[in-house]
Structure 1
Amino acid sequence: MKKNWKKALAAGAAALVLTAGFNVVDMKAAEAKVNFELFDFEAHRGGRDARPENTLVSFAYAMELGVTTLEMDMQMTKDGQLVISHNPVLSPNLTKGPDGKYVAADKYDIRTMTLAEVKQFDVGTMNPAAGGYYDGHGKTQLSVPGTKIPTLEEVFELANAYGNKKVIFNIETKSYVAPDANAANSPDPAAFVAKVNEVVKKYDMEDRVTLQSFDWRTLVEMKKLNPRITLVALTCEQPSWGPDGVYRQVNQPGASPWMAGIDIDTYNGDFVKAANECGADIVSPYWEELSNEMVAEAHELGMKVVPWTVNDPKKMNMLLDMGVDGMISDKPWLLHEVLIQRGIKVAAPSVNLKSPYHTGTAIVTGETKVTKKGGDSAE
């Protein structure tokens, strides 16, 4: 009897759950696996205003700056490999083909290509002809010709090569829902998440990964598969930033297809409560859509708040005054300076001079200087 009482109790509890009709999957995990020791200082796509975005070069730069978290986007290739790219279709703003010319728009969809095919392209130099995109991000970005699109596994290996055992990986499932233009080749959410979980477990990164997405179906699928993974609900209502169409569908009949069957009108348009219902541990809204009341509400629900993408020091300070728990920035060197000025502790830089992805970072008296290999410097 003494040996079997625990088994009997567990069986009784399971029977009670089934009888009562409770859905075990919907029950929030008691505690998220990631332990945030510091303010969550995130480099957006590795810091795309400093280095080629979503590359090992940018992630090396970010670690050498001393970020808490590397933020990145994932696509799944035709042969089931996870590669780091914001766009599912290779962008002419960022990508050169094997012929050395920038690719044509809408020609190469990563999701219909093998990993070997993806690796043929160069994403190390932003296209100066990109107009507004280049003007917004390219003028301060260091060109690193020959840079390839990395896999998620290569990002984990980079951190290990740097000996960085604390940096967090905020990885986004770039999954799309009709009528979004990118929905046609989007992987099945469950299959996408299964591959993510496989790679995360392979590198023993469950306590250092947060999974974020606009497609909350992938968050629900991960909670079913591995509730130890910290979940981040991305959200945005502005059409120019969020997914195609009105993302949350406030005051519209039915549930948004992006929100895993949740009708936000049930919560009077409150995305914080909706994210909590989805099982998210962190809510990550576009920064302009955040308020003091929403931050307080999230904290009352036991959730952290990490807005995106904040590139102006005045706005950074405003959000810090609101009490946010982290921030995502294209200009991590500016956020680093703001945090230091505010007396907020940041991680120590992690440097590997022998790394082929080391491009040099020096922080000097309130300004950031970028040092190229060979000693040349560029402000």
Structure 2
Amino acid sequence: MTLPGPSHPYFAPRVTALAHRGFSLDGLENSMTAFQAAVDLGFTHVETDAHGTADGVAVALHDSSLDRTTDGTGEVAELPWERVKGARIGGVEPVPLLEDILGTWPELRVNIDVKGESGIVPIAEAIERTGAHDRVCVASFSGARRDATVARLSRPVATSAGTSEAARFFLGGALGLGTLRSLRTVDALQIPWRVGVVPVLTARHVRIAHAAGVAVHVWTVNTAPEMEALLDAGVDGIVSDRADVLRDVLTARGLW
């Protein structure tokens, strides 16, 4: 089965399975250990988040501060790398450089969520230094942040819609309108499939996106029945904390 979607080499030929912040059942998200665990499971794609330190170093971390996931404290954008690198995720794992993730596994596809203004320049520089253009997708809740990052690159990368673009797409789909205008500048819609407990993604949305040549990736999907339902609806990719479950579902369907 070949799914509709963009031709950029970042995308898998069938279903793009993304290990969300790597794979860890021990709370070690966005650590090198978590990314290695995803690779060991056979994943070719991982999702990560990135911020820039006060001295312009791109680090893989979801939150703007060190407080929740590490034994350190403070806003990453206000701290030098020398301070950030001393923090330990879950008290044991160092905060990784984005460049280390891109460089350690040279075949690994990495979905990078640009989390703040401080990350724009250092994220672009990390992609440039590692020559990772063919294997990254640059995403952000802010389309402006995404575009500012991409504008600093010497070669094209895959891109995903921001929040406002996705909202226009959802609204247009609900009203039965053609919503292709909001998708003209991106390769993928990486979106939640529900808000709270209410599903918002429909097969109609997927068909509209496919008609525009845009892939539909959904997050964060952690149970087999939900994965099955979304695959039945025709989505092109799933982002999951349970990479092990996702692998088993796709294997059973002949899509791994």
Q: What band does the TM-score fall into relative to the shorter chain?
A: 0.7 to 0.9
Q: 1:76 aligned to 2:22?
A: no
- Give 1:202's aligned residue: 129
Deviations 1:86-127 (A, max 9, x none): 0011234x2224xxxxxxxxx51111001110011111x3xx
- Which 5+ residue runs of structure 2 have no aligned equivalent? 1-5, 174-178, 195-199
| Cα distance change, pair 222–146 in 1 and its aligned pair in 2 (3 A) | closer
**Does the 8 A contact of 1:77 with 1:114 survive in 2?**
yes
**Does the 8 A contact of 2:52 with 2:123 survive in 1?**
no
Shift of 1:45: 0.6
Deviations 1:244-283 (A, max 9, x none): xxxx4xxxxxxxxxx6xx994xx78338646414x11000
Equivalent residue runs for 1:328-339 within 5 Å = 328-339=239-250
**Does the 8 A contact of 2:49 with 2:62 survive in 1?**
yes
Instruction: Give the 3-state SS of the residue equivalent to 2:159 in structure 1.
Output: strand
**Letter of the aligned partner of 2:113 in structure 1?**
E
Q: 1:300 aligned to 2:228?
A: no
Q: Distance in 2 between matches of 1:207 and 1:321?
A: 29
**Letter of the aligned partner of 1:155 in structure 2?**
I
- Percent identity over the alignment? 27
| Cα distance change, pair 306–202 in 1 and its aligned pair in 2 (3 A) | same
TM-score by length of 1: 0.59
| Cα distance change, pair 207–268 in 1 and its aligned pair in 2 (3 A) | closer
- Give 1:57's aligned residue: 33
Q: 1:85 aligned to 2:61?
A: yes
- Give 1:316's aligned residue: 227
Instruction: Give the 3-state SS of the residue equivalent to 2:219 in structure 1.
Output: coil
**Letter of the aligned partner of 1:230 in structure 2?**
A
Name the structure where strand makes up a greater proportion of residues: 2
Q: Distance in 1 between matches of 2:241 and 2:167?
A: 32
- Tell me how large the CA RMSD over aligned residues is: 2.4
Q: Distance in 1 between matches of 2:249 and 2:170?
A: 35
**Letter of the aligned partner of 2:220 in structure 1?**
T
**Letter of the aligned partner of 1:117 in structure 2?**
R
Instruction: Give the 3-state SS of the residue equivalent to 1:270 in structure 2.
Output: helix
Q: 1:110 aligned to 2:76?
A: yes
- Give 2:85's aligned residue: 119
- Give 2:190's aligned residue: 284
**Does the 8 A contact of 1:56 with 1:158 survive in 2?**
no
Shift of 1:303: 0.3
- Give 1:96's aligned residue: 71
| Cα distance change, pair 35–330 in 1 and its aligned pair in 2 (3 A) | closer
Shift of 1:153: 1.0
TM-score by length of 2: 0.85
Shift of 1:332: 0.6
| Cα distance change, pair 274–84 in 1 and its aligned pair in 2 (3 A) | farther
**Does the 8 A contact of 1:50 with 1:58 survive in 2?**
no
Shift of 1:48: 4.2
Larger Rg: 1
- Give 1:159's aligned residue: 105
Q: 1:229 aligned to 2:157?
A: yes
**Does the 8 A contact of 1:222 with 1:229 survive in 2?**
no
**Letter of the aligned partner of 1:146 in structure 2?**
V
Instruction: Give the 3-state SS of the residue equivalent to 1:210 in structure 2.
Output: strand
- Give 1:213's aligned residue: 140
| Cα distance change, pair 274–121 in 1 and its aligned pair in 2 (3 A) | farther
Equivalent residue runs for 1:258-269 within 5 Å = 264=168, 269=171
**Letter of the aligned partner of 2:189 in structure 1?**
V
- Which 5+ residue runs of structure 1 have no aligned equivalent? 1-29, 98-106, 126-144, 176-185, 236-247, 249-258, 347-379
Q: 1:44 aligned to 2:23?
A: no
**Does the 8 A contact of 1:33 with 1:228 survive in 2?**
no
Instruction: Give the 3-state SS of the residue equivalent to 1:37 in structure 2.
Output: coil
**Does the 8 A contact of 2:140 with 2:162 survive in 1?**
yes
Shift of 1:204: 1.4
| Cα distance change, pair 216–315 in 1 and its aligned pair in 2 (3 A) | same
Q: 1:340 aligned to 2:251?
A: yes
**Letter of the aligned partner of 1:198 in structure 2?**
E
Q: Distance in 2 between matches of 1:90 and 1:302?
A: 38
**Does the 8 A contact of 1:313 with 1:335 survive in 2?**
yes
**Letter of the aligned partner of 1:228 in structure 2?**
P
| Cα distance change, pair 205–312 in 1 and its aligned pair in 2 (3 A) | same
Instruction: Give the 3-state SS of the residue equivalent to 1:305 in structure 2.
Output: strand
**Letter of the aligned partner of 1:280 in structure 2?**
V
Q: Distance in 2 between matches of 1:75 and 1:232?
A: 18
| Cα distance change, pair 270–223 in 1 and its aligned pair in 2 (3 A) | farther
